[in-house]
Amino acid sequence: MTARCRPDQGTAKLALRFHFATTDLPMTSPDSSGTKKRIFSGMQPSGEAHLGNYLGALRRWVGMQDDYDCIWCIVDQHAITAGGDPSETPGNVLDLAISFLAVGLDPEKAIIFVQSDVPEHTELAWLFNAVTPVGDLERMTQFKDKSQRFDSIPAGILNYPILQAADILLYKADAVPVGEDQKQHLEMTRDVARKFNAAYGETFPETEPLIAKDVGRIMGLDGEAKMSKSLDNTIPVLAEPEDVWAKVRTAVTDPQRVRRDDPGRPEVCNVFTLHNFFSDDATRADIDAQCRAGTIGCVDCKRRLSDNIADAFGPFRERAAELHAHPERVREVLDDGAARASAIARETMAEVRDRMGLDWRSAIG
C-alpha cells in the first residue's frame, strides 16, 4: 500500500539539523513478519501549523514516515465538536494541509487525508457509544476543563474521545504518536477496544501511545502556557523572517535577568530551550556561557534564535508558496488520501457490522 519512497534531500538535511529522535519508539519496524507497524495520528485544523505543532508533533511525524505505515489525518469533525464557524473551517483545513506538506509529510510515503471525507469515522463512533460508560467520559480531564466554558454543554464535548477512538481503531493502528496531554484519550481508546473485543469478539488491537520523551515541555513565548494559536504565544511555521522576529522579540526570558549584565540561567529560560531545537552545539555553548556571565543580552540571544528559526523554516515557506499557487495539487493529495483511507475503513466496518449483527439480510439467509 505504501508507495516507493522518493529520495528527498531537503528532508534529509532537516532531519539532521533537528536531531530527529525516533529512538524513543518502543517498537522495532518492520516487525518479524516483514510488515510495517501502522501509525495513526490526527491534528485539529485551526489554520496554518505553528511552532508548537511542529516541535510537538509534525517534526516527529516526518521522521516516522520511512519506518512505519503512517496515516495522518486532519480531524475537522473534532474541530467542530462545539460548533465552529462554517465560513472558516474549509480554509483552516486547506491551510493545515499545506502546512503538513510544506514541513515534509509525504503523500508518497503516508496516507494524508481529511476526517470528514471518510464517513466511517462517525459511523464507528456511534457504535462505540454502546461500549463506553458515560462515567468514564465525564471523568476525562479535558471534558472537565472544556465543559466549564459552557452554560449548556454540547454532547460533542463529552463524546469527543469516542470519535478519537474511532479514528484510531478504524485503521487498527498499532500506535499513535501524541503529546502527554493526549495520554488519557489513548487510555480511553484502549478501553473501548478491550470492551468491544470482550463483547463482540477479538477485533481491535490495544493501540500504544508513543509519547515523545526528548521534547520536554515547550512553553509558549509568554512563558506561561503551552503554545497555542488562540493564545497568540507561538509562531506560524510559514512566517516570514520579519514576522518570526516580531514574535521572538516578545518572548519571556529568565525573569531574574533585568539588566543586560545580570547573570542569566539558561536552564530556566524558554528562549534557550528553543535554541536546543534550532541552534548547533557551538552556538548553544557560546550563548550558555555568555548568558551566565552576563556578556550577551537577551535581545542578541533572541536575534540569533530568530535567525535560525527563519532559516530552518525557509524550505517550508518555499514549498507552501508553491502549493498556494497550485491548490489543485493539495486537492489531489487529499482526494487520493481519502480513497486509500476509505479502502481500509470499509474493510473494518464490514467486520464491525457483522460482529454487531448489523446485517439483517442474514436473517433471510
Binding site for ligand TRP (CB under 6 A): 40-42, 44, 75, 78, 164, 167-168, 176, 178, 182, 185
Residues near 343 by beta carbon (within 8 Å), at least 6 away in sequence:
none
State the amino acid at position 88 in one-letter form. E
Q: Which of 98, 187, 111, 97 shows the shortest CA–CA distance to 142?
A: 187
CA atoms within 13 A on the CB side of 147: 17
Between 41 and 306, name the residue whose CB sits nearer to ligand TRP. 41
Answer yes or no: are the C-beta atoms of 68 and 210 closer than 8 Å.
no
Contact yes or no for 82/154 (Cβ under 8 A) = yes
* Planar angle of CA 8, 101, 328, nearest 5 degrees: 115
* Closer by beta carbon to ligand TRP, 45 or else 297: 45
- Name the nearest CA neighbour of 210 among 52, 23, 50, 44: 23
Give the three cell numbers for residue 167: 479514528
47, 84 in Cβ contact below 8 A?
A: no
Which sequence positions are flagged as catalytic?
146, 226, 229
First vs last C-alpha separation in the chain: 35
Q: Which helix (H) or strand (E) holds 209?
A: strand 208-211
The dihedrals phi and psi of 113, each to the nearest 5 degrees, come to -155, 175
Distance of CA 157 to the CA centre of its chain: 20
Distance in Å, CB of 273 to ligand TRP, minimum: 21
* Helical ranges in the chain per DSSP H: 9-17, 51-53, 59-64, 76-79, 89-103, 120-128, 134-138, 141-147, 155-170, 183-200, 241-248, 270-278, 281-293, 298-325, 327-355
- The alpha-carbon radius of gyration of the chain (Å, integer) is 22
DSSP 273-291: HHHHHHS-HHHHHHHHHHH
How far apart are the C-alpha atoms of 273 and 278, rounded to whole Å?
A: 9
Collapse the DSSP code of 154 into the 3-class scheme (helix H, G, I; strand E, B; otherwise coil) and give the result. Answer: coil
